[in-house]
Structure 1
């Protein structure tokens, strides 16, 4: 990765660290859900606790990327610094790479409370191989939610982006089956979840962390969502660039 991309990443992280509540907010809901639901109801069952923990990790990945990119990008677009940087001759690759790297760092920070709670207060367990596989899948499932955040951030003004991110995150989590054990959600959720990005991501995480079978339908749906969101994010970026710099 180029030094310029690292510079952009450092800038993004410094801007975020200056407002610690931004980091706290992205970690709060998954950690609170762990303490309120996973620990008392599934903490004593190793299998259930493991599935519930990776569901909360999926929840944290979604919320962190949705708000980090959706709200963060829209806020940046409202600042005078953003138009200036976009006129520089370096192109968008370094900025995108830096933003994605910073987002990955913040995502890892948001996962720490969930992992600590699972380790201290539940019987969740992973082998070394399962841990490495789950960590790799965590990075993989962050891609569609990163693209979703970018699409929101580049297509909407700041106030609208905040509302859309807030409206989306809980329905996506509930309808994707993140709030229940595998196979224990209401019928409509079980039917709909495989077609949602959260449902596909959760099923990949369950398969990586346990004996849950891979579902080709949910994988294809997740790939479809990733491609669709990539197209939407690209369109939103180009539309914003055309409106503001043409």
Structure 2
């Protein structure tokens, strides 16, 4: 029996990058997966249609996130795992950053994670079990120049995760976070080469991580292997800023 046999997961931002790797890993581990993304066609094209569904979702909309939860319950019978992964970047120095770019990053990351956490927790509370995984970042731990919006959002996700874990534990619901470092994805490989090289030089393991390496940590948190973990933040960074 695979680690997630018989379980149902929702993954936001699952059409590419880390989100896709998580959805694919969960599916291969036996879970049925509902992927929410602004591009559901791309998610549907890449994932196994026998075990996955793709749904259009803007995580800043509570109604869209509620539809994801409802799809999991209506089509597959439950919601056992929620991964709040959807994210964007709008990098700029604090001096030049536009207010709407600050607001949008906060909305997608922080409000989107809040929507997913509270709606999933409500469904899981009814069944007295479940696990929620929130995607933070190393930026939320140390703060990155040029990312006051992103760093603030990711730090907020850590605080939210811990608060939600305390509220949900008595209902059998665990809430944890993952804080990736430099992971090779469409979002990170778009950065200028000199910025990539500078970040790479800070990593003791000497390389960027792969999305599948984050997905394996998510698999651990989603499974019974982590049954006594809640309110934790697992860093997947290659030792950067340890």
TM-score (norm: length of structure 2) = 0.31
Greater fraction of residues in strand: 2
TM-score (norm: length of structure 1) = 0.30
Structure having greater relative contact order (Cα 8 Å, sep ≥ 6): 1
> Which one has a bigger Cα radius of gyration?
1
